[in-house]
Amino acid sequence: MTMPQDPVPSRRALLKTGGLFAGALMIPGAVSAGVRDHARRNAPESLLPDGFFHPSHTPVTQPAVASATVQPPIVAPGVNPRLLKRALAALEQHGSRIAKRDRIAVADFTTGSSLPRFHLINLEDGRTVSKLVSHGSGSDPAHTGYLQHFSNRNGSNASCEGAFATADYYVGKHGRSQRLLGLDETNNNALDRAIVVHSAWYANPDMIRERGMLGRSQGCFAVGENELTEVFNRLGPGRMIYAAKV
Identify the pLDDT of residue 97. 96
Q: Which residue has the higher pLDDT, 138 or 74?
A: 138
Q: Is residue 16 domain-resident?
A: yes
pLDDT of residue 41 exceeding 90, the answer is no
Together in a domain, 141 and 221: yes
Task: Give the whole-angstrom CA distance, residue 182 versus residue 190.
Answer: 5
- Return all residues near 119 (Cβ < 8 A) that are at least 6 apart: 76, 78, 79, 105, 106, 107, 108, 128, 129, 130
Distance CA 97, CA 90 (A): 11
**Candidate from 13-17, 137-141, 157-161 with smallest mean pLDDT:** 13-17
Cα distance between residue 136 and residue 220, in whole Å: 7
Residue 2 lies in a domain: no
CATH of the domain at 103: 2.40.440.10
- Report residue 172 CA to chain centroid gap: 28
Q: Look up the pTM and report it.
A: 0.72
29 with 91, same domain: the answer is no
Q: Report whether 169 contacts 230 (CB < 8 A).
A: no
Contact 83, 108 (CB under 8 A): yes
Same domain, 178 and 206: yes
Same domain, 44 and 152: no
Residue 174's alpha-carbon distances to 117, 167, 227, in angstroms, are: 21, 17, 14
d(CA 21, CA 16): 9
Average pLDDT on 138-153 reads 98
CA distances in angstroms from 109 to 29, 124, 216, 243, listed in the order given: 59, 24, 13, 7
Residue 153 falls within a domain, yes or no?
Answer: yes
- Which of 70, 94, 114 is the endpoint of a domain? 70
The pLDDT value given to residue 167: 98
The four Cα atoms 19, 93, 170, 224 give a dihedral, to 10 degrees, of: -100
What pLDDT, on a 0 to 100 scale, did the predictor assign at position 45? 37
pLDDT at 72: 65
What lies within 8 Å, CB to CB, of 95 at 6+ separation is 101
98 and 24 in a common domain: no
Domain identity same for 165 and 236: yes
147: confidence class by pLDDT, cuts 50, 70, 90: very high
Nearest to 200 by CA among 228, 166, 241, 165: 228
Per cent of the chain over pLDDT 90 is: 68
pLDDT in tens, 96-107: 999 999 999 999
Predicted confidence (pLDDT) at residue 221 exceeds the cutoff of 50: yes
Q: Assign residue 148 a region (left: φ > 0; alpha: ψ between -120 and 50; beta: otherwise).
A: alpha
- Would you place residue 37 in the very low, low, confident or very high pLDDT band (cuts 50, 70, 90)? very low
Q: Place 186 in a pLDDT band, splitting at 50, 70 and 90.
A: very high
* Residue 125 and residue 224 in one domain: yes
Shared-domain flag, residues 130 and 111: yes
Task: Name the DSSP letter for residue 47.
Answer: G
Share of the chain above pLDDT 70, in %: 71
Looking at every residue in the chain, the average pLDDT score rounds to 80
Looking at residue 19, its pLDDT comes to 41
> Do 240 and 197 share a domain, yes or no?
yes
Rounded Cα gap, residues 120 and 219, in angstroms: 19
Which pLDDT does position 71 carry in this prediction? 55
Distance CA 227, CA 214 (A): 14
Q: Is residue 141 part of a domain?
A: yes
> Among residues 83, 89, 85, which one has the least CA distance to residue 183?
89
Q: Which of 48, 70, 92 is at the close of a domain?
A: 70
Helical H runs in 70-195? 81-93, 190-193
Domain that holds residue 103: 81-244
Residue of 70 and 193 predicted with greater confidence: 193
pLDDT of res. 150? 98
Contact 182, 195 (CB under 8 A): yes
Is the per-residue pLDDT at 94 higher than 70? yes
Contact at 8 Å (CB) between 166 and 228?
A: no
